Amino acid sequence: MLRMLMIVAALLAPVGLRADLLTRYFPGKSEADIAKEFEDKLPEFLAARAKDVSKPRLHIEQNKRKLYLEIIEVKGAESTWAELVPHGWYKDRAEYGFSPGEGEVKLKQADFPPQEVALWFEHNYRTPEEMVSLVTWLALKGEVLAANGRLAPMAAKSTLLKPDIDAWLIAKHGWATTATLIQVDVHDFEMQKDGMLLLTKEAAAERLKLLDKVAKEALKDLVEQQGGDTKGKPGARKRSPSIRLDTLENRLTRYPKAFAGTTTAEAKNTKKSLDEMLEAVKADRKWVEDGGFKADRLAIDGDLQASADAWLALYRADPENIEVIQKCAEVLFKAAEVTDNGNKCVRKDRALKAAEMWDKFAQIQPLYLNCINYAGLNYMAAGEKAKAKARFEEVLRRTDKKELTDAEKGHREYAQTRMKDMK
């Protein structure tokens, strides 16, 4: 929720302390004292949370690489984080889950983006003292809006705290002491997270002006992701979508909520464009689903070549969908008619295409070692021995450790067997 909201940083203005909220929980302590205590306790907080099922995560940019990380352990002033990679699929949110990959990153506390730290603290699960110390620290870091996003939900649930929270926010934002704050519901378009802010009417209006710039870019991205063709028929559009169709449908559906009130989102042309894209995407999804049943029927009836061609046509309509990619790869492999322990095939073109499909699957979901093995098998059958060997060696490298799960043992044994069979 907070990342997109940083666009309204222009609303912020550092001002002196309004002590009501702080004296309630930290009588006699200065902002600097409270912030220092928060920083001093953060390693202990992270170390404890590293043992949780749901561990703290953060987004950072390092050496021009955008990384998504999850805490592993904390040792003194340094912490170790695992690089997260897509793994699994959340159907209800139309987005990938993430799990630790092979990469690890060492960070110092100063490397943590304050807005990301804010996301580790939800008022429903932390004490009021923790939340107040967090927002005090955020304010001293110049992240008053991030603090606002943490305090607003607390104010909505506590009539006792709301006057103190209002006073603190008014002082920190630099608004007139007589200002009245209104609750503004927000939705982060990228993170699919609802939230709220407490703003003056004037600040809320200014936020919409700044948010409108993001709305224009987001709309432009959606047109690009859809392919820019809403008039063509399913399966015959000028360009394939650049993201999964179900993800695209999810984003199109949430756009009005994320940018409600902006000039761009409220424009008739925008609404018309969104409706047309949504209608096209829904039609494409139905075409792929119905076509999948027909393609499977062809395979059941024994026409593997026709089934492979049908799945390839469906793939062009939804080329980032791993379920479609997997079906293509499986049918193409069968259509290749692989023999001689993987060393020969009847249709080399089918085997090569199957290998490419498994490679793409592994790029999207890199933790699935079986995809890498399958790519190797198909390259092997197509006579691409070097590529096949590289895939099997990759599996062996990633399973070269003392403790292996049963699945990892199976993948390793498969790669070893195929390497021995290779002629």
Quote the percentage of the chain above a pLDDT of 70. Answer: 96
Q: Is the pLDDT of residue 16 over 80?
A: no
- Condensed to tens digits (0 to 9), the pLDDT of residues 122-157 reads 999 999 999 999 999 999 999 999 999 999 999 999
The pLDDT of residue 2: 43
- Condensed to tens digits (0 to 9), the pLDDT of residues 319-342 reads 999 999 999 999 999 999 999 999
Percentages of the chain per state (helix, strand, coil), in multiples of 5: 60, 15, 25
Q: Mean per-residue pLDDT for 239-263?
A: 98
226 touches 241 (CB < 8 A): yes
155 touches 198 (CB < 8 A): yes
The pLDDT of residue 207: 97
Q: Mean per-residue pLDDT for 71-97?
A: 95
Q: Could you give the angle at which helices 348-364 and 322-336 cross, rounded to 10 degrees?
A: 160
- Condensed to tens digits (0 to 9), the pLDDT of residues 116-127 reads 999 999 999 999
Q: Mean per-residue pLDDT for 205-215?
A: 97
User: CB neighbours (10 Å) of residue 92?
Assistant: 6
359 touches 382 (CB < 8 A): no
**CA atoms of 249 and 208, how far apart (whole Å):** 24
Mark 360-376 as b/e (b = at least 16 C-beta within 10 Å).
Answer: bbbebbbbbbebbbbbb
- CA-CA distances (angstroms) from residue 203 to 47, 136, 176, 200, 250? 38, 21, 12, 5, 29
- CA-CA distances (angstroms) from residue 92 to 172, 285, 367, 373? 38, 16, 22, 30
The owner of tokens 């990938």 is 96
User: For the chain, what is the mean pLDDT?
Assistant: 94
What pTM was estimated for this model as a whole? 0.91
Residues 6+ positions from 60 with CB-CB distance below 8 Å:
66, 67, 69, 107, 111, 112, 113, 116
For 6-15, 111-120, 389-398, which range has the lowest pLDDT when averaged over its residues? 6-15
The closest of 172, 170, 266, 251 to 211, measured between CA atoms, is: 266
Q: Is the pLDDT of residue 417 over 50?
A: yes
The pLDDT of residue 77: 85
- Token code pair at residue 332: 């193409």
Q: Is the pLDDT of residue 372 over 50?
A: yes
**Phi, psi (deg, nearest 5) at residue 95:** -150, 160
3-state secondary structure 57-115: EEEEEECCEEEEEEEEEEECCEEEEEEEEEEEEECCCCEEEEEEEEEEEEEEHHHCCHH
| Cross-strand pairs, 339 | 344
The pLDDT of residue 381: 97
The pLDDT of residue 12: 43
- Condensed to tens digits (0 to 9), the pLDDT of residues 31-79 reads 999 999 999 999 999 999 999 999 999 999 998 899 999 999 999 889 9
The pLDDT of residue 73: 96
Q: Mean per-residue pLDDT for 191-197?
A: 96
The pLDDT of residue 70: 98
- Condensed to tens digits (0 to 9), the pLDDT of residues 48-61 reads 999 999 999 999 99
**CA atoms of 79 and 150, how far apart (whole Å):** 25
Q: Is the pLDDT of residue 94 over 60?
A: yes
Q: Is the pLDDT of residue 3 over 80?
A: no
The pLDDT of residue 14: 41
